[in-house]
Amino acid sequence: MSALWPYLIPPSAHGAEDIRAVRADGHRITFADGNVVLDGSSGLWNVNLGYGNPVIAEAIREAATQASYLGAFRYENDYARLAADALVDVCGPGHYSRVLFSSSGGAANDAAMKLVRHHHALAGQPDRKLVVGLRNSFHGLTFGGFALTGEDLGQRLYQVDQRLIRHITPNDVQELRTLVERNASRIAAVVVEPVLGSGTVPLSEEFVAELVRLRDETGYLLVADEVATGFGRTGTFFASQTWPGQPDVLLTSKGLTNGVCPASAVVFSGRVAEPFVTGDAVLVHAETQGGSSLPSAAITATIGEMHRLDAVVAGQAVAARLDRAITDLVANHPRVTGAAGTGCFRTVHIAGADGEPLSGAGVAELVARIRRAGAIVHPGPGGVQLIPALTFAEAEVDELIDRVVGGLERKDLTPSAPTTSAASNPPPANE
């Protein structure tokens, strides 16, 4: 058995050949047992343009040859400058002005919480320390992001400090108003996913409008965690671009490099940057690989490929086909009870044999059955998530649905493949 300790599966499942991936091409993954399966999860929601994009690969090769490591730790480099400028351009150059690079979505959330608290301290409001998130949200498993995550994934077990974190119910406008009214001068930021990743639950227009109104009225910073929803996943380049007021801080990762390099970014407005610039203040955050040459080259190339392939428009077509297929599935399959999400970021809710929503174990079993039927899907609360690449062909959307139906109707196996979601098998929270 390999020395590898993989994420979020029990030791008893380590080393299994049927979960050892050996190749990825287009929208398919080949495993060591010889199976070639359709990837309905875009990797881990990050391979938005499919596997093996040659332009992105060549950009990384060039950077590795010409600038194998140039960092942003007390230095700058041309690759990071180009990537930052390209990113501001697609986020909204009239509003955003600066980019802090990081290496993961969780680390970006950590950095953002430091940024917003430091901003308020420089602006003469040092009591603004509370950070507000949403229940059932996911912001990563680093200690800061883990504290902000609104799912119970074992934070007490790991002694994660949540004393300066508050959680409210998503889309509950009155609960939001009440919290802000009681803590208006203490809230540093409200951090939200435009679509909650765990259940693919979109924020309502009313809730978003109130987030923006209260931000403008009370002065907290609004942070959009677009780690999952960015880069065309929900129908626009970033989901928050449809909001009535833009966030002060935007977090992006996953699709940022099409999955080829660990990278994330904290993109922030001139309003957020201003007290740092005026006071010549240093934000104490740095990472060895943040803003280094290879991930930066991948970011610039990925943005270029998003434009060349008109990937946002392509994703809208995939989403329309997927929506029709899911609507038909809900109407005609007795075990499919509903759906959630938007764009190419959807959840299909499944009932068990007793008519009740699937448990975590039931979801894990269904994921394994769908895998045996020929597709990879991601587990979600009470069902499975369908997260195709923006570059899927219509026939591949239809194939994905067929594989889901095939998994629902298989009666001949006990799953050997483990769940890959902490939400389906969370660590104990009371130890």
User: Are 296 and 341 in the same domain?
Assistant: no
Measured CA to CA, the distance from residue 362 to residue 428 in angstroms comes to: 18
Q: Report the C-alpha gap between 17 and 5 in whole angstroms.
A: 14
**Pair 199, 315 in one domain:** no
The DSSP secondary structure of 121-134, one letter per residue, reads: HHTT-TT--EEEEE
HEC string for 77-108:
CHHHHHHHHHHHHHHCCCCEEEEEEECCHHHH
Task: Give the integer Cα–Cα distance in Å for 59 and 150.
Answer: 37
Candidates 78, 102, 91; CA nearest to 303 is 91
User: By C-alpha distance, which of 269, 253, 271 is closest to 261?
Assistant: 253
In a domain, 430, yes or no: no
**Is residue 333 domain-resident?**
yes
Specify the pairing of strand 345-350 against strand 336-342: antiparallel
For residue 290, being part of any structural domain is answered with yes
Question: 245: how many CB neighbours lie within 10 A of its CB?
Answer: 15
Q: What are phi and psi of 154, to 5 degrees?
A: 100, 25
Question: Which of these, 160, 148, 152, lies nearest to 427 by C-alpha position?
Answer: 152
The domain spanning residue 102 has which CATH number? 3.40.640.10
Residue 181 falls inside a structural domain: yes
d(CA 295, CA 101): 10
**Strand, coil or helix: 53:** coil
Residue-wise pLDDT tens for the chain (431 aa)? Answer: 899 999 999 999 999 999 999 999 999 999 999 999 999 999 999 999 999 999 999 999 999 999 999 999 999 999 999 999 999 999 999 999 999 999 999 999 999 999 999 999 999 999 999 999 999 999 999 999 999 999 999 999 999 999 999 999 999 999 999 999 999 999 999 999 999 998 999 999 999 999 999 999 999 999 999 999 999 999 999 999 999 999 999 999 999 999 999 999 999 999 999 999 999 999 999 999 999 999 999 999 999 999 999 999 999 999 999 999 999 999 999 999 999 999 999 999 999 888 899 999 999 999 999 999 999 999 999 999 999 999 999 999 999 999 999 999 976 444 334 434 443 444 333 33
Check which CATH number belongs to the domain holding 350 and give it. 3.90.1150.10
Q: Whole-model pTM?
A: 0.94
Output the pLDDT for position 202. Answer: 98
pLDDT attached to residue 415: 39
Q: Does 90 share its domain with 17?
A: no
Q: Looking at residue 1, what is its pLDDT?
A: 82
> What is the domain count for the chain?
2
Structural contact between residues 131 and 179, judged by C-beta atoms closer than 8 angstroms: no
pLDDT of residue 411: 64
328 with 256, same domain: the answer is no
Q: What does the pLDDT read at residue 353?
A: 83
pLDDT at 417: 40
Shared domain check, 113 and 163: yes
Residues 156 and 301: their CA atoms lie apart, in Å, by 41
Of 72, 22, 6, 42, nearest to 285 by C-alpha is 72
pLDDT value for 428 = 33
Q: Are residues 221 and 301 in the same domain?
A: yes
CA distance 102 to 291: 7
Name the domain boundary from 246, 273, 308.
308
With respect to residue 425, please indicate whether it lies within any of the assigned structural domains.
no
Residue 123: per-residue pLDDT:
97
- The answer for residues whose C-beta is within 8 angstroms of residue 333's C-beta and 6 or more apart is 405, 408
Q: Which residue type does 203 have? A: L
Q: Point out the domain boundary residue: 248, 277, 308.
A: 308
Q: DSSP E strands: which ranges in 270-389?
A: 336-342, 345-350, 375-376, 378-380, 383-386
Alpha-carbon distances of 79 from 55, 82, 292, rounded to whole Å: 16, 5, 8
Q: Are residues 301 and 398 in the same domain?
A: no
Q: What is the dihedral sign for C-alpha 32, 2, 420, 312? A: negative
Examine residue 3 and state whether it is found in any structural domain, yes or no: no
- Calculate helix-pair angle for 105-122, 270-279, nearest 10 degrees: 60
Domain that holds residue 382: 11-52+310-409
